[in-house]
Amino acid sequence: MKHIVSISDLGRDDLKKLVEQSAKAKKMLPIGTNDLSGKVIASVFLEPSTRTRLSFEAAVARSGGQCITVSGGQFSSISKGETLEDTIKVISQYADAVVLRQSENDGAVRAAGVSACPVINAGAGSAEHPTQAVLDLFTIAERFDVFSAGVKIAFVGDLKYGRTVLSLAQVLQTIGGAQVALVAPDELAMPKKYTTGAEQTHHQLTPEVLAWADVVYMTRVQKERFNSSEAYNAVKDSCILTHELAQNMRPDAMILHPLPRVNEVETNIDTMPQAHYFTQAANGVPVRMALINWALS
């Protein structure tokens, strides 16, 4: 079966094809497709989600398929003590693919090991978010030729627990050619297994970094990943993109953010031409149309 559990499941050629297929799906959005006609997709979200869950469900609807849904662990038999494995063994017999989000880093791998149909990882703890990485790549590729010319990208904020930034970092390593700047306090530094040693490192977001970057990828410091409020409060305001700082960016540069945001991107940046995070969120639908088709092909 063609699971999408880890971003490492996708090679350079796979990523290029998915970007191309996402572009085709985006053109088809106004009328939709029949690619999933007769297919049932299980949307199993055991952890809170807005954009990922709804964009997957919209992708199924736009492709002519149907969704069955579990929203929140408290509404599943896991709240009664059932294991994730038993839950997936059952649900995978009801559907043609399972889209799974849950809080354990190895949950998607375990689910794929017992599933009767393809599993698509829609976010696993603080480890990976492969479908977000593909939509981030697609959004960047709409403006920059990442496959031929590379891209200069600054990852900013929570680079330790942010599964979106960790997955995108792996994508850029797979493609090759990217120049990367890591902007975070030591407490939120990117784990070495996701770095190559060629990255610039900074503890603060500076005008120089902003002027250098093609893409500034902002992340939220995730309160839910910390063991204490004291540890969270110590770093929560460490990397904030203000309107004043953003003026240092080139007109053709991009600000991305997987959302939700708290205070790390000022709302008065939203009207700047560099702000692409709402376009990024909208791209979740065509990209996930492509990814579901990929898993079922």
- Asked if the structure places residue 137 within a domain, the reply is no
Is 211 found in the same domain as 100? no
Structural domain containing residue 25: 7-128+283-296
CATH number of the domain residue 188 falls in: 3.40.50.1370
Is 209 found in the same domain as 105? no
Query: What domain count does the chain have?
Result: 2
E-state strands within 66-199? 66-71, 97-102, 119-124, 152-156, 179-183
290: tokens are 């492509």
Is 154 found in the same domain as 121? no
Is 264 found in the same domain as 148? yes
CB atoms within 10 A of CB 57: 21
Is 254 found in the same domain as 189? yes
- Asked if the structure places residue 12 within a domain, the reply is yes
Is 13 found in the same domain as 124? yes
Tens digit of each residue's pLDDT, the chain (297 residues) = 799 999 999 999 999 999 999 999 999 999 999 999 999 999 999 988 999 999 999 999 999 999 999 886 566 677 777 899 999 999 999 999 999 999 898 999 999 999 999 999 999 888 889 999 999 999 999 999 999 999 999 999 999 988 899 999 999 999 999 999 999 988 899 999 999 999 999 999 999 999 999 999 999 887 666 667 777 777 777 789 999 999 999 999 999 999 999 899 999 999 999 999 999 999 999 999 999 999 998
Is 97 found in the same domain as 220? no
Handedness of CA 277, 278, 280, 281 (dihedral sign): positive
Is 260 found in the same domain as 169? yes
Is 271 found in the same domain as 292? no
For 109, what's the count of Cα atoms within 13 Å in the CB-facing half-sphere? Answer: 10
pTM here is 0.92
